[in-house]
Structure 1
């Protein structure tokens, strides 16, 4: 060899991590805090303004208000000459879950009129309730169903000669 030596290349220094500028760190902190605050505000707004999505989230008092409203509609639409007997509320204990007890409400109205006019009474009472469904669809009516909202159901049926019974039920709720 001619005496020429080749030196190995010098090791390159690893690039040093650059510290994050303080302004960028504060921006991320502000974004995280802003996001958390937005979630809290939306949760509080939702809890106060959204309607219940389950019957268990409503109270017996709210069910009574809905039932009373439907009773007013039904009694206002009762055919001429019909009499209405209000049996009032019947409360029954029920179980919302394994750990919570609730109460179920039923209010019964008995509408009496002329014998043979039961079908006409069903039609008149159902007409007082928007979107009430009568049964059968064709021919003389034997009953109706109405969803009153707030998880309250109204069911009317011919219960005897000249008699129509209307039951308004709430299902199991928080007392």
Structure 2
């Protein structure tokens, strides 16, 4: 019995089981040490692939071929990878001579998140913000967004959410009336 899991290249399997053992010599190097087929499950006819330490690059269509020498079956499954980033942090930032701004930061997102700013009345003020996205070596995204504030506005919220539905992270900042900006 041969069980071959692969993505784009048949000859570079994600996992290959043949002659009652795992064959790792031709395994795609991106999956080395991260895949397994359960020997007990194989005895029951379960050829499910276990994939550990999921990465954003693992997203995609996987094909499984099972061949017992007389017939073979083929199946496909899609792996969807999503990472909920950190709760956003909001801080004040003011450069000399410039208007004070609030900066909202969050990291560890996949896919790319969206940022929504609201004022104290719940009005969407996102159009007044500037947002930057960066990708780290793992393929995850960090977001940094800022909005310039006027002293009379005193409550802002920054919502960072996945473009795919739920869950969301939101942070609010209340600026007290005692806050005064000092410029040297």
TM over 0.5: no
TM-score by length of 2: 0.28
Over alpha carbons, which structure has the higher Rg?
1
Decide which structure has greater helix share: 1
| Structure with greater contact order relative to length (CA < 8 Å, sep ≥ 6) | 1
Decide which structure has greater strand share: 2
